[in-house]
């Protein structure tokens, strides 16, 4: 199966999740706007969600997948089953203890870590504590689900793991629809959403658990023991968790800083939902598929295939991400207006702030996607330490810039800090890969990137002029269907212009789309020495 088909399998599930996510955010914006309930919910949900990304998706997609793939190659399905049971026992026990401690310490965590700015507003602070307490057990479900998803990805069964997150949005949409039907107030909606998050975690875990059983691996519970395999996983997982969750770490920091200003937390969350569409569909899909494929190529000594996988993945991600970034930059206000401007959101006049944040996130989007494409080059070689160091530098940059800009710019200053930190991280990851000889010069990639930038620039220029000319049809005073149709027409025109220019000047061709990201068929080179590609 070609990489593009695997990307498409993962991306289709992610796309469904993002589409339903848009529907969820549209309903939430109308129901609770960017007021105190929205701030409390988004801050409370950010906490377990960050832990999930740090200790589940980040760690297991980076550390667990290569080790699980190695067990499959070395000892077959039975060895992989034994390894997964060893990990499951340790993971479940650790998560249970962590959840108990966090639940008991939640008031302190909200006051000093999650949203210190809420401490001056007792009602918002108490609501955040209550919602975070309800939602934190979501971490157990999603961490175990992430482990099962890593197993499925290693077995090249991508669909169940990709489709499971859709159910979070389906359940929350159902909660919001019920609240609208029954006429619930904002506070009741906030509590209902928190319980909906917990229910969604249980459903998502059930989906991937059944899929793993269907794949022929029944994971039982073993008494937690630090076996050599588990020790190796922990050594790799801690830095991998920090690296894989760098975006979430920066978001958690941004949320803590933003809590000092009313509506800043919810404004950042609503803008984040929009730019997560291209990031999730392209960046996350590439990272999920590339890591096990790259691990297999390196384990078999096929260095040509490894190099081809990396270069074609970057080429493909930039081909799809650059126009998305350009569109977010020049059309952020119409996008926000069509998606969110109704109900409590419109009453709060939140569109300019959310649009400014979204435009800045657009500037950082290529960097966030490139990070997803570069880090497998380290993780597949079982080097999780180097990306962790770069992640720490990125966090330091993010904190310093956010604290500098937030007093004057507000929430857009936090988005600016996140974008700058993303580009710093991406540059360091690429630079060291090149220096170590793990990323060779690829003429096709180097010649196409400038042409793709030109195509995206031309598209952005045309859209900028068009948005100005069509302003009467995009203004708040125009009917919603007029705004939506005009925005859809602009998206279509922009896509046609971008692809026409990109193909016309050689930034892309049909061969690149059809063939360049297929798995390499070059013969294996001499395998490296056992530890030659491992940085401890």
The structure tokens listed for 316 are 């493909």
Highest mean pLDDT of the ranges 147-161, 259-273, 389-403, 450-464: 450-464
Q: Which of 21-25, 396-400, 459-463 shows the lowest mean pLDDT across its residues?
A: 21-25
Q: What is the pLDDT of residues 101-134, one digit of tens each?
A: 999 999 999 998 888 888 889 999 999 999 999 9
Supply the mean pLDDT for the chain.
82
Domain count, the chain: 1
Whether 400 has a pLDDT exceeding 80, the answer reads yes
DSSP state of 382: T
Counted residue by residue, the chain has a size of 536
Whether 14 has a pLDDT exceeding 50, the answer reads yes
Question: Looking at the domain assignment, is residue 255 inside a domain?
Answer: no
The structure tokens listed for 447 are 């010649």
The C-alpha atoms of residue 504 and residue 90 are separated, in whole angstroms, by 55
Q: Give the pLDDT of residue 250.
A: 74
Whether 7 has a pLDDT exceeding 60, the answer reads no
Confidence label for 521 from pLDDT (cuts 50, 70 and 90) = very low
Give the rounded percent of residues in the chain with a pLDDT score beyond 90: 35
Highest mean pLDDT of the ranges 98-102, 254-258, 285-289, 474-478: 98-102
Where helices occur in 223-302 by DSSP H, the ranges are 228-244, 246-258, 264-278, 285-299
Question: Looking at the domain assignment, is residue 135 inside a domain?
Answer: yes
Sequence-distant (6+) residues with CB within 8 A of 393 are: 424, 425, 428
Sequence-distant (6+) residues with CB within 8 A of 462 are: 493, 494, 497
Sequence-distant (6+) residues with CB within 8 A of 428 are: 390, 393, 394
Domain residues for the domain of 59 are 36-242
Q: Which of 481, 463, 465, 483 is nearest to 473 (CA)?
A: 483
Neighbours of 190 (CB within 10 A): 25
Tell me the angle at which helices 385-409 and 246-258 cross, rounded to the nearest 10 degrees.
20
Question: Looking at the domain assignment, is residue 187 inside a domain?
Answer: yes
Average pLDDT over residues 136-140: 91
Average pLDDT over residues 18-40: 83
Neighbours of 228 (CB within 10 A): 8
Q: Which residue has the higher pLDDT, 382 or 204?
A: 204
The structure tokens listed for 511 are 């061969």
Q: Which of 248, 160, 193 is nearest to 24 (CA)?
A: 193
Burial class (CB in 10 A: 0-12, 13-18, 19+), 492: exposed
Confidence label for 453 from pLDDT (cuts 50, 70 and 90) = very high
Backbone φ, ψ for residue 508 (5° rounding) = -155, 160
The C-alpha atoms of residue 21 and residue 273 are separated, in whole angstroms, by 7
Q: Give the pLDDT of residue 524.
A: 36
Sequence-distant (6+) residues with CB within 8 A of 208 are: 145, 148, 149, 152, 160, 161, 164
Average pLDDT over residues 386-406: 91
Confidence label for 165 from pLDDT (cuts 50, 70 and 90) = confident
Q: Which residue has the higher pLDDT, 21 or 471?
A: 471
Whether 493 has a pLDDT exceeding 50, the answer reads yes
Residue 101, CA distances (Å) to 108, 136, 167, 277 in order? 11, 11, 28, 34
Residue 526: left (phi > 0), alpha (psi -120 to 50), or beta? beta
Whether 191 has a pLDDT exceeding 90, the answer reads yes
Q: Give the pLDDT of residue 498.
A: 94
Q: Give the pLDDT of residue 387.
A: 87
Question: Looking at the domain assignment, is residue 368 inside a domain?
Answer: no
Q: Give the pLDDT of residue 200.
A: 94
The C-alpha atoms of residue 346 and residue 420 are separated, in whole angstroms, by 30
Question: Looking at the domain assignment, is residue 472 inside a domain?
Answer: no
Question: Looking at the domain assignment, is residue 524 inside a domain?
Answer: no
Sequence-distant (6+) residues with CB within 8 A of 515 are: none
Confidence label for 5 from pLDDT (cuts 50, 70 and 90) = low
Q: Considering only the C-alpha atoms of the chain, give the largest distance between any 2 of them, rounded to a whole number of Å.
A: 68
The C-alpha atoms of residue 396 and residue 398 are separated, in whole angstroms, by 5
Whether 435 has a pLDDT exceeding 80, the answer reads yes
The C-alpha atoms of residue 492 and residue 252 are separated, in whole angstroms, by 35
Q: Give the pLDDT of residue 243.
A: 65
Identify whether the C-beta of residue 509 lies closer than 8 Å to the C-beta of residue 316.
no
Q: What is the pLDDT of residues 42-85, one digit of tens each?
A: 899 987 877 666 655 555 566 777 788 778 877 787 888 888 88
Q: Which of 307-321, 422-436, 456-470, 508-522 shows the lowest mean pLDDT across its residues?
A: 508-522
Question: Looking at the domain assignment, is residue 409 inside a domain?
Answer: no
Whether 520 has a pLDDT exceeding 80, the answer reads no
The C-alpha atoms of residue 430 and residue 419 are separated, in whole angstroms, by 17
Question: Looking at the domain assignment, is residue 473 inside a domain?
Answer: no
Average pLDDT over residues 281-289: 60
Q: Give the pLDDT of residue 525.
A: 36
Average pLDDT over residues 134-151: 88
């Amino acid at each position: 199966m070609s990489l593009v088909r695997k990307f498409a399998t993962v991306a289709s599930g992610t796309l469904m999740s993002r589409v339903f996510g848009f529907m969820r955010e549209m309903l939430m914006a109308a129901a609770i706007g960017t007021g105190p309930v929205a701030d409390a919910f988004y801050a409370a949900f950010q906490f377990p969600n960050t832990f999930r990304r740090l200790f589940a998706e980040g760690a297991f997609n980076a550390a667990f997948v290569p080790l699980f793939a190695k067990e499959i190659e070395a000892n077959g399905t039975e060895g992989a089953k034994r390894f997964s049971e060893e990990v499951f026992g340790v993971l479940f026990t650790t998560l249970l203890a962590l959840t108990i401690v966090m639940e008991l310490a939640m008031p302190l965590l909200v006051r000093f870590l999650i949203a210190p700015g809420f401490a001056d507003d007792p009602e918002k602070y108490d609501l955040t504590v209550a919602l975070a307490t309800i939602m934190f057990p979501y971490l157990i479900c999603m961490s175990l689900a992430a482990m099962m998803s890593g197993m499925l990805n290693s077995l090249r069964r991508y669909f169940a793991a990709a489709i499971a997150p859709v159910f979070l949005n389906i359940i929350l949409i159902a909660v919001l629809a019920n609240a609208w039907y029954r006429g619930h107030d904002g506070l009741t909606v906030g509590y209902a959403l928190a319980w909906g998050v917990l229910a969604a975690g249980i459903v998502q875990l059930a989906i991937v658990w059944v899929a793993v059983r269907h794949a022929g691996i029944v994971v039982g519970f073993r008494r937690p023991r630090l076996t050599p395999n588990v020790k190796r996983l922990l050594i790799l997982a801690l830095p991998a968790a920090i690296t894989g969750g760098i975006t979430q770490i920066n978001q958690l920091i941004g949320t803590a800083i933003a809590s000092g200003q009313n509506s800043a937390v919810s404004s950042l969350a609503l803008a984040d939902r929009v730019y997560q569409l291209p990031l999730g569909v392209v960046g996350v899909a590439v990272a999920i598929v590339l890591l096990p494929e790259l691990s297999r190529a390196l384990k078999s000594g096929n260095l040509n295939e490894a190099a081809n996988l990396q270069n074609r993945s970057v080429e493909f991600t930039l081909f799809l991400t650059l126009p998305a970034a350009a569109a977010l930059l020049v059309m952020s206000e119409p996008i926000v207006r069509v998606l969110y401007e109704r109900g409590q959101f419109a009453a709060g006049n939140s569109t300019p702030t959310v649009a400014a944040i979204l435009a800045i996130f657009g500037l950082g989007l290529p960097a966030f996607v490139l990070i997803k494409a570069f880090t497998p080059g380290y993780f597949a070689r079982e080097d999780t330490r180097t990306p962790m160091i770069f992640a720490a530098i990125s966090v330091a940059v993010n904190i310093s810039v956010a604290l500098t800009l937030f007093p004057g710019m507000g929430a857009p200053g936090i988005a600016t800090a996140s974008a700058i930190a993303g580009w710093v991280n991406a540059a360091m990851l690429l630079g060291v890969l090149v220096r170590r000889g793990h990323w060779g010069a690829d003429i096709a990639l180097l010649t196409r990137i400038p042409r793709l930038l030109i195509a995206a620039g031309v598209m952005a220029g045309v859209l900028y002029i068009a948005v100005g000319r069509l302003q009467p049809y995009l203004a708040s005073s125009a009917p919603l269907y007029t705004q939506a149709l005009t925005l859809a027409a602009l998206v279509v025109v922009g896509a046609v212009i971008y692809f026409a220019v990109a193909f016309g000047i050689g930034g892309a061709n049909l061969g690149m789309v059809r063939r360049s990201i297929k798995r390499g068929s070059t013969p294996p080179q001499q395998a490296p020495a056992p530890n030659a590609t491992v940085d401890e």
